């Protein structure tokens, strides 16, 4: 199957700008706000992708990828594999295009994400995480028909995410670092492609939870690695079991380093955003803030990408309520 895949190539500025024009009627230019924490903390700005129509950044990539499918393929319907946010994005784009959508969904996905995918008209096929991760590599799954939209290893999907990088440069031109969560790698590659093309001096950092940190492991080893001690957690939108070799090739020239944060640090970041800025973030969306607060990315200005806010409210309250003072 791999021999039929499009060769890895850089995402050009012209492709990113064309994607921005293509999806402007679907996505929103999300706010970028300063988080007021005081002089003892790094200067942090929050890029609020939790305010997209599906409450997550994945709509950018999905809208661009579905729009760029040949009409003959799109007419057959589309399908993807997701823990919830990519599934919502593809379902949203499919509904707008008037075609059916199927999502092979990780069976532990939050109820809020499952409900949103159903509301968008997607047919859901629940599977264990390990089965979904294998299907991502195989790009096939029994019962999933139509054109496959890979949720991260897809040039057009990543080009859609890259539009966020243009917005960051417009709204935070003084930024010295940008931090994004890493699951499959599509977010960090997209944003990094735009920012490095225009402002190569800005540092691009990826962040993962300590329970699932293959990118940091790969960076240390200099090659794509499997994270053997992977554990599931409330950070369901980031942290994979491995780094796909194709994504490693995309990430290598763009990402300056990778940070790893604890689940406790992630919960603290979720609570801090709720208390200081009235922002509800899912676990993956809080990783960049948690990383920024460690000081390892410098004193800023740092842009922390709040990638999504799709979390069951009961679970959110339990998590932030368990944070010790």
pLDDT at 83: 81
Give the number of C-alpha atoms closer than 13 A to the C-alpha of residue 210, restricted to the C-beta side: 9
Parts of the chain belonging to CATH 3.40.50.1100: 2-56+162-321, 59-148
Whether 52 contacts 141, CB under 8 Å: no
Phi and psi (nearest 5°) for 261?
-125, 155
pLDDT at 325: 62
Burial of 47: CB neighbours in 10 Å, binned 0-12, 13-18, 19+: buried
pLDDT at 279: 96
pLDDT in tens, 8-61: 999 999 999 999 999 999 999 999 999 989 889 999 999 999 999 999 999 999
Res 193 pLDDT > 70: yes
Q: At what angle do helices 13-23 and 186-198 cross, to 10 degrees?
A: 120
Task: Report the predicted TM-score, pTM, of the whole model to 2 decimal places.
Answer: 0.92
Distance (Å, whole) CA 167 – CA 173: 10
Distance (Å, whole) CA 93 – CA 68: 11
Please report the DSSP string for 262-279 in residue order: -HHHHHHHHHHHHHHH--
Strands 177-181 and 203-209: parallel
What class, spelled out in words, does domain 2-56+162-321 have in CATH? alpha beta
Whether 62 contacts 89, CB under 8 Å: yes
Closest CA to 266 of 319, 317, 312, 304: 319
In CATH, what number does 59-148 get? 3.40.50.1100
Whether 85 contacts 206, CB under 8 Å: no
């Amino acid at each position: 199957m791999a021999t039929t895949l499009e060769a890895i190539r850089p995402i050009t500025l012209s492709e990113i700008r064309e994607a921005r024009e293509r999806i402007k009627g679907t996505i929103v230019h999300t706010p970028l706000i300063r988080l007021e924490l005081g002089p003892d903390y790094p200067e942090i700005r929050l890029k609020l992708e939790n305010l997209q129509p599906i409450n997550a950044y994945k709509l950018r990539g999905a809208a661009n990828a579905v729009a760029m499918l040949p009409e003959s393929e799109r007419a057959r319907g589309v399908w993807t594999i997701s823990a919830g946010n990519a599934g919502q994005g593809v379902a949203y784009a499919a509904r707008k295009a008037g075609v059916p959508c199927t999502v092979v969904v990780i069976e532990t996905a939050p109820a809020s994400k499952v409900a949103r995918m159903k509301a968008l008209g997607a047919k859901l096929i629940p599977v264990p995480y390990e089965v979904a991760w294998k299907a991502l590599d195989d790009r096939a799954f029994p019962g999933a028909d139509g054109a496959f939209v890979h949720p991260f290893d897809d040039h057009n999907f990543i080009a859609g995410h890259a539009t966020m990088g243009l917005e960051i440069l417009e709204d935070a031109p003084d930024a010295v670092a940008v931090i994004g969560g890493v699951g499959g790698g599509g977010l960090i590659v997209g944003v990094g492609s735009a920012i490095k093309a225009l402002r190569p001096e800005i540092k691009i950092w990826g962040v993962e939870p300590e329970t699932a940190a293959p990118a940091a492991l790969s960076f240390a080893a200099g090659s794509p690695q499997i994270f053997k001690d992977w554990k599931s957690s409330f950070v369901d939108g980031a942290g994979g079991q491995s780094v796909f070799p194709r994504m490693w090739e995309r990430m290598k020239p763009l990402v300056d380093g990778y940070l790893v944060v604890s689940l406790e640090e992630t919960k603290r970041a979720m609570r801090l955003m709720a208390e200081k800025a009235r922002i509800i973030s899912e676990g993956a969306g809080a990783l960049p803030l948690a990383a920024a607060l460690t000081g390892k990315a410098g004193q800023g200005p740092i842009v922390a990408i709040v990638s999504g806010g799709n979390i069951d409210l009961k679970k959110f309250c339990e998590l932030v309520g368990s944070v010790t003072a």
